[in-house]
Structures are given as C-alpha cells and as structure tokens.
Amino acid sequence: MRTALSALTLLRPLSLRDALRMMRDDGPLTPLAGCTDVYVGLNLGTASDRRFIDLARLEALRGIAVRGGAIRIGALTTYSELLRSPLVRRRLPMLASAAGAIGAVQIQNRGTIGGNIANMSPAGDTLPVLAAADARVELRSVDRVRTVPFALYYTGYRRSVRRTDEIITAIEVPPVEGAQWFRKVGTHAAQSISKVVMAGVRAERPRIAFGSVAPTVVRARRTEDALAAGATIAEAREVLQLDISPIDDIRSTAAYRREVAARLLTQFWSSTAP
C-alpha cells in the first residue's frame, strides 16, 4: 500500500446514530463500505482522504425488504447478496443482471450498491438500472432523512446532492411494470469498466438509461418520448444521439460509444418486443 497507514484515522461506530453524529462533529469523513473503490486509491497512493468512518457494523444499512410496495435495499447490500436475493431476481431482474456483470466474484462479494452510487463514477453499472427503475436514494444526517429521486441525485461529473454529513442508508425501488433489460459492453466479460452500459424497461412509456456516455448516468428522455409516440427504431436511434454526450477517453471513443449506444437501443427494442 503506497499510502502511509500512520496518516490514516478510522472511526468505527456501532450504531447509525453514532455514525451520523461523527459525520456531523468529526467530519469531513470518508465512509468505508466494501472498500473496492477506496482501497484502490489507497493502494495506488492517489487517494487524498485521510479520515475514514467504517460503515460495516451498521446493521441498519443491511437487508433487502419490501416496504410499502417498494423494494428497499440497504446501502451495504453487496452484489452477491443482490444476486442471491429471490426478491431481486423476481422483481428486478435487470438489477441482478447488473450485479452479475460487475467485476468478478471477489468484487461482487465485497462491493456494495451504496458504494456504487456514492462513488459517482458515470460508468457505475447499477446506475442505469436505478435510473430506469425510477429508484430513490435515502440519505440520512443527524437531524433528517430525505429521499431523493435517482434522476436528481447527480448534479454533474462526480458531483451529487449528498452533503458531507450524510450517509446513503438505502435505495428504494418502486414496482417496475414491463419487461426489463440490461446490457454492459466492455473489453471482456469480467473486470472491465463499461464502455457503454444500458438498462431499459419496455412499457407503454419505455424507460431507458445509459451509463458511460455522459458526465453522469442519463435517462434518454427524448428517445423515450419518441418511442412512446410511435417512432420507428431508426428514428429513435437518431433521437438518442441528442440524449447522450460521450467523450473520447482511455477506454473508448465518442464515435464508438454513439454507435454502440444505438445498437443497444435496437437490441433492447427487438428483444423486449411484445
């Protein structure tokens, strides 16, 4: 590890209340969940954070349950837990698909859904699923709990509405009507960061979201409107180009991403055709 341990502080609360107090009084603190993002930075010596708070013992952040018709997924839920959950497999197959496409088993056993959201990478593989499902993010601080629609969670590249004293406690997913679809395109099946990732729900008004093609995950609203209004898939592919704004980077080019996004749209549309 290239980061000096002696420079690091870890607070280890046993209850959510204590954790939230520490977030307010001892901050700024960087939460540790499954550590699959944080430790890469510490190992490479590129992380600048020095004060951490361990969420691992907060039972309040675990578990998958139905609450008021919605599925409530604790922020500490790992990808393996999502994959094993009959509830997730039955009601949110696109989330199970995303969980199975992340990293490899070792990462799936440790990485959490809360960490995927909080890490704010535009390539996070669960993010298009949560966007297409109109999920809500539950944020807690000492004095309040608020629930933010996923579409409003990110405010820009690696920026979100989460305040430094807030912890993501859960994700709520309302019932999803219609056929669900997920596809990730990367260099290989395992351990690759998405070049393009898409989740879609085929209903009267389709819901379509893409990752890795804009500064944040995006809902392709114009494309959705077009398809709902009866556009052909060829027309929708044109409209899609207005919804996304990919760039050239180390993993791919903007042109490739535009082409792949359009092909994914076609695939989604034909494979979920009623």
Partner 1 sequence: MTTRSAFRPIVFTLNGARASVRAHPMARLLDVLRESCGLTGTKEGCGEGECGACTVLVDGRAVNSCLVPVAHVAGRKVLTIEGLKGRHPLQRAFAEHGGTQCGFCTPGMILAAVALGPHPTLEDVRRGLAGNICRCTGYEGIYRAILKSGGASRASDSGTRNAGSTRQEKTSHAKGEARSRVPRPASCSRRRSRPAGRLAKAGVPPRRRRRT
Ligand X SMILES: Cc1cc2nc3c(=O)[nH]c(=O)nc-3n(C[C@H](O)[C@H](O)[C@H](O)COP(=O)(O)OP(=O)(O)OC[C@H]3O[C@@H](n4cnc5c(N)ncnc54)[C@H](O)[C@@H]3O)c2cc1C
Edge-to-edge strands, sheet with 179-185 = 179-185, 196-202, 207-211, 218-219
CB nearer to partner 1: pick between 111 and 200: 111
Decide: is 112 part of the binding site for ligand X (CB under 6 A).
Answer: yes
Question: 34 or 122: whose CB is closer to partner 1?
Answer: 34
DSSP symbol at 102:
S
Q: Quick count: other Cβ atoms within 10 Å of Cβ 110?
A: 17
C-alpha closest to that of 213 among 253, 271, 269: 253
How far apart are CB 186 and partner 1 at their closest, in Å?
12
> Which listed residue (19, 20, 22, 38) binds ligand X by CB under 6 A?
38
Please report, for residues 87, 131, 250, the alpha-carbon distance to residue 201 in angstroms, rounded to integers and kept in the order given. 18, 10, 30
Q: Write the DSSP assignment of 30-83 as a string of letters.
A: EEESS-TTHHHHHHHT-----EEEE-TT-GGG--EEEETTEEEEETT-BHHHHH
Query: Minimum distance between the CB of residue 230 and partner 1, rounded to whole angstroms?
Result: 41
Type and span of the H or E element at 256: helix 254-271
Pattern of binders to partner 1 over 70-109, x per CB under 8 A? ----------x----------------------xxxxx-x
Residue among 13, 16, 18, 56 that touches partner 1 (CB under 8 A): 56
Handedness of CA 153, 76, 40, 45 (dihedral sign): positive
Strand, helix or coil at 96?
helix
Stretch that binds partner 1, among 16-24, 41-49, 138-146, 254-262 (CB under 8 A): 41-49
Give me the least distance between CB of 188 and ligand X, in Å please. Answer: 11
Cβ(82)–Cβ(171) below 8 Å: no
Binding pattern to ligand X, positions 235-274, x when CB under 6 A?
----------------------------------------
Stretch that binds partner 1, among 23-31, 54-62, 204-212, 249-257 (CB under 8 A): 54-62
Q: Whole-number minimum distance, CB 216 to ligand X, in Å?
A: 14
User: Does 18 interact with partner 1 (rule: CB under 8 A)?
Assistant: no
Options 25, 26, 40, 271; binder of partner 1; rule CB under 8 A: 40
CA atoms of 7 and 18, how far apart (whole Å): 23
Binding site for partner 1 (CB under 8 A): 1, 5-6, 8, 10, 12, 32, 35-36, 39-40, 42-44, 52, 54, 56-57, 80, 103-107, 109-110, 189-191
